[in-house]
């Protein structure tokens, strides 16, 4: 029987790996799918490709389906997040000049203390700080705003925020258009290799287990194509499980490095997969546990509380009702579709579909189907928590 073709949009980033691996390593074919991966030039382009039906699914920023539900961003097509593709994986970098001022003031670039790094950045930066993010509705933006606001610099109103596609972030820094960026790998490491940036923090230092990219589909397609929807979720889940094996990192890095995917050296990609991050042109290396997760600790489970957190954050800077925004955000993270798709696999899934985000200060057992699930530490750097029942 011939495979069913399915077109999928993606941006050249390491966290597109589950889709690329699903296609290249045969996990999609095992589910009867022939994935047609189509690389987009920007997040707005990939979002629009999905919205108008040029592709049937997409590697997408976790906040985009929520923003669509809130009527933000100019596109009204309803989208569902049917799986989380990746957790963490971003880096915050600063220009060489700003890094020099921070070092002169005593900052050590330890790459792990968000409070210390943020205070050093605020003290050394000229105001307003010019920050590059890949899209207005992105975890990059939300993490930066949360971080700096918590440290006494209300954001984004006190920043000059520039939207720059990920692969162009190093060029924007080199041209002096921005002082700092938050971007997904490998583009932060690429900026370091060129001498255009020093890395200040991983995104995981701000929120230790943050949803980053999702597998997004149109809401009407998801409702009409439940068999294809299930096949796609399972194919990507199997790809994430394959990626979680450290012995597969070199093969994964080689696959991703190919011209049709990221078109960049496998060495830079392997750094993100291993959490071995070079932060400066002098070769300083920092090891970051859980720098990028695809599978472990139910990483791909679309918690409704994650959508609620994103909705609440978006409401705080757009004037929308917070409780209603959190509710609409929760509805877009389809844990029900995810459970239905993985029911035949008999993998261990959480029994709950929402939780208190930021509530785990350490890895902890969770209620689950098989009773073996350990959820990862998911603390925010400032110790706050988010209860979706009282947003």
Give the pLDDT confidence score for residue 1 in this predicted structure. 65
* Residue that has been written with the tokens 């207005």 in this structure: 136
Mind listing the pLDDT tens digit of every residue in the chain (391 residues)? Answer: 689 999 999 999 999 999 999 999 999 999 999 999 999 999 999 999 999 999 999 999 999 999 999 999 887 899 999 999 999 999 999 999 999 999 999 999 999 999 999 999 999 999 999 999 999 999 999 999 999 999 999 999 999 999 999 999 999 999 999 999 999 999 999 999 999 999 999 999 999 999 999 999 999 999 999 999 999 999 999 999 999 999 999 999 999 999 999 999 999 999 999 999 999 999 999 999 999 999 999 999 999 999 999 999 999 999 999 999 999 999 999 999 999 999 999 899 999 999 999 999 999 999 998 899 999 999 999 999 999 999 8
Q: How far apart are CA 342 and CA 325, in angstroms?
A: 28
Give the pLDDT confidence score for residue 2 in this predicted structure. 86
Give the pLDDT confidence score for residue 74 in this predicted structure. 81
Note the pLDDT tens digit of each residue in 78-104. Answer: 999 999 999 999 999 999 999 999 999
Instruction: Flag whether the pTM goes above 0.95.
Output: yes
Give the pLDDT confidence score for residue 391 in this predicted structure. 84
Q: How far apart are CA 271 and CA 284, in angstroms?
A: 13
């Amino acid at each position: 029987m011939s495979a069913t073709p399915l077109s999928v949009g993606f941006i050249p980033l390491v966290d597109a790996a589950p889709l690329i691996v699903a296609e290249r390593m045969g996990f999609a074919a095992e589910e009867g799918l022939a994935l047609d991966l189509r690389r987009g030039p920007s997040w707005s382009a990939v979002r629009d490709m999905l919205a108008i039906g040029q592709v049937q699914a997409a590697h997408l920023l976790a906040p985009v389906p929520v923003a669509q539900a809130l009527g933000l961003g100019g596109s009204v097509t309803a989208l569902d997040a049917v799986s989380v593709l990746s957790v963490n994986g971003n880096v915050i970098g600063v220009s060489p000049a700003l890094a020099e001022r921070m070092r002169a003031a005593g900052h050590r670039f330890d790459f792990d203390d968000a409070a210390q790094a943020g205070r050093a950045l605020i003290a050394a930066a000229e105001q307003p700080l010019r920050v590059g993010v890949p899209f207005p509705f992105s975890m990059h933006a939300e993490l930066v705003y949360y971080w700096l606001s918590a440290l006494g610099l209300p954001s984004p109103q006190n920043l000059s925020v520039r939207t720059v596609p990920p692969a162009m972030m190093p060029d924007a820094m080199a041209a002096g258009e921005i002082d700092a960026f938050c971007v997904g790998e490998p583009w932060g490491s690429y900026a370091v290799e060129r001498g255009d940036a020093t890395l200040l923090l991983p995104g995981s230092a701000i929120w230790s287990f943050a949803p980053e990219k999702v597998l997004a589909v149109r809401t009407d397609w998801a409702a009409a194509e439940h068999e294809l929807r299930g096949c796609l979720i399972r194919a990507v889940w199997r790809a994430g499980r394959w990626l979680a094996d450290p012995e597969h990192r070199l093969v994964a890095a080689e696959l991703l490095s190919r011209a049709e995917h990221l078109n960049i050296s496998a060495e830079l990609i392997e750094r993100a997969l291993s959490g071995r991050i070079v932060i400066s042109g002098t070769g300083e290396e920092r090891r970051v546990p859980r720098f990028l997760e695809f599978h472990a600790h139910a990483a791909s489970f679309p918690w409704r509380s994650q959508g609620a957190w994103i909705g609440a954050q978006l409401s705080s800077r757009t004037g929308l009702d917070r409780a209603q925004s959190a509710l609409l955000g929760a509805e877009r993270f389809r844990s029900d579709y995810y459970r239905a798709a993985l029911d035949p696999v008999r993998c261990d899934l959480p029994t709950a579909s929402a939780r208190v985000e930021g509530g785990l200060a350490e890895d902890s057992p969770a209620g689950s189907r098989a009773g073996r699930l350990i959820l990862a530490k998911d603390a925010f750097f400032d110790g706050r928590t988010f209860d979706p029942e009282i947003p």
